[in-house]
Amino acid sequence: AQSVTQPDIHITVSEGASLELRCNYSYGATPYLFWYVQSPGQGLQLLLKYFSGDTLVQGIKGFEAEFKRSQSSFNLRKPSVHWSDAAEYFCAVVLMEYGNKLVFGAGTILRVKS
């Protein structure tokens, strides 16, 4: 079955440390790929997206993600985490043949310790 997997439910990092959140998808074709962030009581905010071209994409708030076709992965990274980055992060994909629906992973909760 087609799916989006975020293997880490919770991650805790120290402020100033680097961060990598994992995302894998199981679709035959290359989907459109997204990372969203959700703070408590807030809606989903788009961090970055990949449609085609350069496989390393830059987003807002200092985040970047790299698409690796061979690994069906789209991991999110940040070189130095700030306390305000504590939130839940969702990887999502769109497949046009599935009616343009955005399909989400289960999310990764990021905790930042000072």
Of these, 15, 30, 32, 64, which contacts another protein (CB under 8 A)? 32
d(CA 114, CA 14): 6
**Residue 31 carries which DSSP code?**
P
Three-class SS state of 18: coil
d(CA 34, CA 46): 7
Of these, 12, 18, 20, 51, which contacts another protein (CB under 8 A)? 51
Which of the stretches 16-24, 45-53, 60-68, 75-83 binds another protein when contact is defined by CB under 8 A? 45-53
Q: What is the contact surface with another protein in residues (CB under 8 A)? A: 32, 34, 36, 41-46, 49, 51, 90, 94, 99-107
